[in-house]
Structure 1
Amino acid sequence: MRRVRKIPERRVDIAPATTITLEAYADTIVPGEKRWPGDRAIAGVSTGGGAVTSGALDLLRWDATGIHDGLDDLANLVNDHARNYAEKAGLTLDTDVPPFVALDYDDRVALIVELTTPGHPEKDFWVLLSLFCNMAYDSAAHLHTDEALADGHPGLTAMGITQPDTDGLWRFQDFGYGRQLANVHPDTTPTGSPA
């Protein structure tokens, strides 16, 4: 199998309260099923794996994202917003978990909609965080695709991404548009590279 050069990476450490808060945020963006019966971060409104089991926290903590050093601040900020949201809605939050985690799923959604609405002064932060959570599910950007598929990555599996051939390359027997769009250039090598 062809080996791809590993990109040097660093993942930052984050506080436990940050972890559970960001897991709850990621689960609100791409919901999944609870990992265990008392799982507070994942609301359990969907079956199968969502953003959290797809590795959203690994992706967020990766230095390639550019937001890795600000995760504790983002978690604190969304928890402040959750407190304010709960106060306005007349909700009493469980103090055993961070405020955002204490919100039920529908309230988490309502708060994220509020934070990502055009005109909200922090919209860019929340849209970026949401995009990275979605990216963990729909592209496994933090993983090599063949390894993610071998491990049963929930998003790639749900989208029907196939395993590579035994040499680690993907080849498609059927053309994506139902017809061949162009002939292969005569100088193309057997590996598909131009000569």
Structure 2
Amino acid sequence: MSAPGSGGGADRAGSSPLTPTTASTQGTGQASPTLTVEGTSRPPSLPPGAHQEAGGYAWATPEGWRRDVKTGAEVHYTSPDGRQELVAKSSLARGDLLDTGQTSERNAHQGEGYRKIRLEETTFRGNPAVVWEYAFTLQGTPWHARLLGFDESGKSYQISTWYQPEVEAEARRTYEKVKDSFTVL
């Protein structure tokens, strides 16, 4: 399979590599075609403030938070006060999302003070998804976790947050905003 823009499929006999896809009048009253390479599509437009990550996604993260790249596909952001963390990652889709979540949940029982709040199937933008919410303790400090995992186009994506309970209202607003900005590229 060729990468978009690499010419794969554009060299077929009898086909033009550039095809007008839209027209704009730009104040002249005449249509001006916008050209794209045949067989490709324009990338999704990104929400304001969103930036791309190597894992094939973009998201708008809060300004002033510390960025920590774990792998090319997994990125963490930590609030300046250290009481909330946001994580996004991608991987190849493998199996049923709920089965994967249940396996992770069984392994979480080994953690200190683990308490499941919910683990259930849902959808995210029309794609199969799983929501997992739980509480745990880390070095004597209570934390709350919310994870959303979903599959799209053969890949799995996860958008997560961990936060200390005393900042829950702001942490949830931040997470919802970041989750709403999440864009698969």
Q: Compute the TM-score of the two structures, normalised by the length of structure 2.
A: 0.24
- The answer to which structure has the higher strand fraction is 2
Give me the TM-score of the superposition, normalised by structure 1: 0.23
